[in-house]
Structure 1
């Protein structure tokens, strides 16, 4: 008689079996392509409680179990001031999925929500800083965030439409404020629709938006309200109806940027014009 599997075992098997092509393979592809996990790493897998970070934790468990690369991992949950329902939901999901989380508390929501201007920007910066600091205190050299392929392409489009610049989301970054620390995005090549499919297949529900400004949509499939990201998400969804490969095209485009065809380039040392080396490239 076959042994009945527990929910976390079913979730793990679905990653390796049913959704191997959609989840496991692109996860491994990102880890290898961008050199995200290296020997001796101690990685803080940052869990917000949403579908993306919870799946990322399960992917890391599988990687840690089977990888030939020696590394350590901590599943880190920062409580920025969740209400009791959200905190309980994160803890119960972690138990259900057999994820051994380490929780630490902050007052980020109190500080950000009392800010006169740009509370969301302040909240995001504070979250990142607290995660870096706690991870470093725990001996980690990297933090892993659950941004996926759709986050990458939406960020690119948003920057062009609303910030007047062509700017992407990098798969890994050196921290500017915490020496020796890096941020990695191991779900960089995974589509959001496939994450949702995995969640639904396993009949899981996660918190979506835990901010006190929008607590009326804490547990749902979609969020964003009237945000610019949601506008871009809807636009891309419409464009996908006539061009099914549009997500792939945008993603590939940020890996093949032809800088010599742009009149202006922004680098770490400032803005540069094509005129700087225009004559030097005569006859090319």
Structure 2
């Protein structure tokens, strides 16, 4: 894919500047799952840190959910640690049983994805408070924004999605999403080109989640109808016209 790096850099830079995602003195915690999204985000933020005219700190954190076998776990942690050392980014691993808790919740007819996500975010929020991080960076991208919009509309009856910059705890913490303008296919292409140490999601339920099903519907049913559909949907999310929506 020609000019892949400058294209990604331009899109990430647009998000950072438009939504003021980084500022002097920031301490940014990045959730490094081992998937290509978080690895690509780490690569670009590590470069951004070296080039910005102000000082800010970047840390990578991996929450082990307890799904991996000992051999797979060892391989993953070593690869992530080596990658962070290459980028001169501090790295730390935290071991949890959140995966098992999610699987047990499924047996009780409770959404395992909700349980897993809730405990994972709670852990990151607690860690941010203890270590004085003021921002948490996630690798959510353009496709995630669209899928979340459809999930909220179809399952919750509301027009809502992810925010590029989300205030938490009255401004004590912010969630930032620098990849918000980047399509998944660009992330995948860059990860492959750079031979990043990408690991598959070890959760046995990941192919069967509502998100996975919605992604399949959009990719196989909706987008093939018209090549402009994805771009128009993304633009519509930023171009809401409340005056033309009925009030309850």
Q: Which bracket does the TM-score occupy, shorter chain normalised? A: 0.7 to 0.9
Instruction: Say whether residues 1:246 and 2:229 are aligned partners.
Output: yes
Kept in 2: contact 1:86–1:207 (CA 8 A): no
Distance across 2 between alignment mates of 1:82 and 1:234: 24
Residue 203 in structure 1 maps to residue 195 in structure 2 = yes
2:176 aligned with 1:184: yes
Moved more, 183-192 or 20-29: 20-29
Counterpart of 1:279?
A: none
Q: Does the aligned pair in 1 maintain the 2:39–2:196 contact within 8 Å?
A: no
- Contact 1:90 / 1:206 at 8 angstroms: preserved in 2? no
Which structure 1 residue ranges, 5 or more long, are not aligned?
A: 1-13, 215-223, 265-272, 274-284
1:25-36 alignment to 2 at 5 Å?
25-36=10-21
1:109 correspondence with 2:93: no
Deviation at 1:188, TM superposition (A): 0.7
Gap runs ≥5 in structure 2: none
CA distance in 1, matches of 2:99, 2:209: 19
Q: Distance in 2 between matches of 1:108 and 1:27?
A: 31
Q: Measured at CA, do residues 106 and 230 of structure 1 come closer, stay the same or move farther in structure 2, by a change above 3 Å?
A: closer
Task: Say which structure is richer in helix.
Answer: 2
TM-score normalised to structure 1 length: 0.77
Q: Equivalents in 2 of 1:188, 1:165: separation in Å?
A: 20
Larger CA deviation: 95-104 vs 188-197: 95-104
Offset at 1:205?
4.8
Alpha-carbon contact 2:66-2:98 (below 8 Å) kept = yes
Task: Find the structure with the greater CA-based Rg.
Answer: 1
Alignment coverage as a number of residue pairs: 239
User: Any idea what SS the aligned residue of 1:68 has?
Assistant: coil
**d(CA) in 2 for partners of 1:248 and 1:153?**
10
